[in-house]
Amino acid sequence: MNSLFDVQGKVVLITGASRGIGKEMATAFADAGAIVYGTASRPESISQGHNPAIQMSACDVRDRGMLKDLMLRIKATHGRVDALINNAGITSSSLASQVSDEEMQSLFETNLKGLFSACQVYYSTQKREGCIINISSASAMRAMPGTSFYGSIKAGVIQTTQALAVEWARRNIRVNCISPGFIKTDMNAHLRQNESTAAQIAASIPLGFIGEPADVSGAAVFLVSNAARYITGHNLVIDGGALSRASF
């Protein structure tokens, strides 16, 4: 492998790594020779298709203490955590008039506050140098029915990324964001099971097909590699060109 894109031996922590995009990213890093740690919100999620090359732990990203203990354990073993990927999150498709206080609180606590806390813990345990990738969503930049509060929270992830990139640049901690569009995961399997709906979704994407989790994992590996050493504060949209298409 060209050393410019090499992540061999890098220590990477990925939250929400038991399924979907997080699991695919963890697998991609492990296949590329990285030392990969992953989290799942529940212990029972760890055994679901577990890859022995990925060291999984149960960790609630809303719990700052659990996050800190995990990062300190990793650092005690390897001396560093080269990259933190904040992938853990929950989704919502509730219409604006139907979003409950409980749902808003849950989305905020997990998708933004938990992510921000993880960034803070990472910063506090790093001396110099590091890399953070936050996972947002194309919903943060394009209004669609059922994404009002979810999209607002994900927009906050992009702003958080840019602010931290500026604040932490002097410590050489790069902070970037990936915003996937419609990607095949178990969270949207119910939509894809309807052939007509799946065809409509694919037709709305300029490239003409629905993305796979692997389409996101390659970008994550790139952003952690030395090839991206001068990239920080960037939001990389991976959506097959959907955001570029006119909405009318």
Residues 9 and 34: beta-carbon distance below 8 Å: yes
pLDDT for the residue 52: 87
Is 79 a domain residue?
yes
> How open is the CA angle 175-188-111, to the nearest 5 degrees?
35
Per the confidence metrics, is the pTM higher than 0.75? yes
pLDDT tens string 88-143: 999 888 899 999 999 999 999 999 999 999 999 999 998 889 999 999 999 999 88
Is 135 a domain residue?
yes
Per annotation, catalytic residue among 37, 122, 123, 150: 150
Is residue 4 scored above 50 in pLDDT? Answer: yes
Kindly indicate the confidence band of residue 246, based on its pLDDT and cuts at 50, 70 and 90: low
Domain that residue 19 falls in: 3-185+214-238
Pick from 64-73, 173-182, 189-198: least confident: 189-198
pLDDT for the residue 102: 95
Residues 131 and 224: beta-carbon distance below 8 Å: yes
Is 132 a domain residue?
yes
Q: What is the mean pLDDT of residues 156-176?
A: 97
Kindly indicate the confidence band of residue 200, based on its pLDDT and cuts at 50, 70 and 90: confident
Q: What is the mean pLDDT of the chain?
A: 92
Is 205 a domain residue?
no
Is 190 a domain residue?
no
H or E element, residue 124: helix 114-125
Structure letter (DSSP) for residue 96: G
Measured between alpha carbons, how far is 63 from 110 in angstroms, rounded to an integer?
A: 10
Give the number of residues written for the chain. Answer: 248
Is 92 a domain residue?
yes
Is residue 248 scored above 50 in pLDDT? Answer: no
pLDDT for the residue 189: 66
H or E element, residue 14: strand 11-14
Domain tally for the chain? 1
Is 65 a domain residue?
yes
Measured between alpha carbons, how far is 232 from 118 in angstroms, rounded to an integer?
A: 18
Share of the chain above pLDDT 70, in %: 95
Is 150 labeled as catalytic in the residue annotation? Answer: yes
Residue 148 belongs to domain with CATH number: 3.40.50.720
pLDDT for the residue 105: 96
Is residue 3 scored above 90 in pLDDT? Answer: no
Buried b (16+ CB within 10 A) or exposed e, 201-231: beeebeeeebbebebbbebbbbbbbebbeee
H or E element, residue 152: helix 148-167
Kindly indicate the confidence band of residue 247, based on its pLDDT and cuts at 50, 70 and 90: low
Tokens of 134: 């936050």
Pick from 4-13, 23-32, 92-101, 167-176: least confident: 92-101
Is 244 a domain residue?
no
Q: What is the mean pLDDT of residues 146-168?
A: 96
